[in-house]
Amino acid sequence: MQFVATIAVVASVLVFALQTRELARQSRVGNEVAGTQAHRELLRDYKQFADVFIQYPELHAYYYDRTPVTPSATDTVRLTVIAEQQADLLETALLTMINLASYSWVFSEWDSYITRAVASSSHLRAMVNSDVDDWPTLEPYVARHDDAQAAPAASS
């Protein structure tokens, strides 16, 4: 009788171990799916941001500081909205990488893109600087850019 009880306990432990392993596997798969969905949503948001330049191609040069011409009042409003959308997109990407481990594989790509985006648009930098509480994880990129720009001027 004791032998049967021991076998029952061992069988229960084995079943529990198998269930635990399967649960861990399902959790990994769930995290991978979440990372894929987050990536898809970020790419969709990026497409919406980029589509503005298809709809209003004249804004591209203004937004990326490639023209000395001052934009019209209407274009200035559009550029402000574009900067806010891009800041939201970049902040979301950073928060997703920080909070979703299965999405951290793409950190170096986003980090590089954000660094370039901040460097290439005074409109984006101005938006982030206007209210750093709205984009707290993006603000260090702007500060790093501003510090790098100030360093050559200070050494001259």
Q: What is the pLDDT of residue 63?
A: 97
Long-range own/partner contacts, residues 69-78 (CB < 8 A, 24 or more apart) = 78/52
Question: Does residue 72 belong to any structural domain of this protein?
Answer: yes
DSSP letter at 1? -
Dmax over CA atoms of the chain, in Å, equals 93
DSSP letter at 106? G
Please tell me the distance from the alpha carbon of residue 42 to that of residue 85, in angstroms, as a whole number: 12
Contacts of 142 (CB under 8 A, 6+ apart): 118, 124, 125, 128, 129
Question: Does residue 99 belong to any structural domain of this protein?
Answer: yes
Question: Does residue 84 belong to any structural domain of this protein?
Answer: yes
Amino acid at 137: T
Would you say 132 and 143 are in contact if contact means Cβ atoms under 8 Å apart?
no
Model confidence at 77: pLDDT above 90: yes
Question: Does residue 3 belong to any structural domain of this protein?
Answer: no
Question: Does residue 53 belong to any structural domain of this protein?
Answer: yes
Q: Which of 65, 52, 39, 43 is nearest to 118 (CA)?
A: 65
**Domain count within the chain:** 1
**What is the overall mean pLDDT for the chain?**
87
> Residue 141 sits in which domain range?
35-155
For 80, half-sphere exposure in the C-beta direction (CA atoms, 13 angstrom radius) is 9
* pLDDT per position as a tens digit, 126-141: 999 999 899 999 999 9
* pLDDT per position as a tens digit, 22-72: 777 777 666 666 777 878 898 899 999 999 999 999 999 999 999 999 999
Q: Which pTM was predicted? A: 0.78
Task: Give me the residue label for tokens 């596997």.
Answer: 25
Question: Does residue 7 belong to any structural domain of this protein?
Answer: no
Question: Does residue 43 belong to any structural domain of this protein?
Answer: yes
Question: Does residue 91 belong to any structural domain of this protein?
Answer: yes
Confidence band of 108 (pLDDT split at 50, 70, 90): confident
User: In this structure, what are the phi and psi dihedrals at residue 153, rounded to the nearest 5 degrees?
Assistant: -70, -35
Model confidence at 92: pLDDT above 60: yes
Model confidence at 156: pLDDT above 60: no
Higher per-residue pLDDT: 64 or 151:
64
Would you say 94 and 137 are in contact if contact means Cβ atoms under 8 Å apart?
yes
Please tell me the distance from the alpha carbon of residue 22 to that of residue 16, in angstroms, as a whole number: 10
Percent of the chain clearing pLDDT 70 (strictly above) = 92
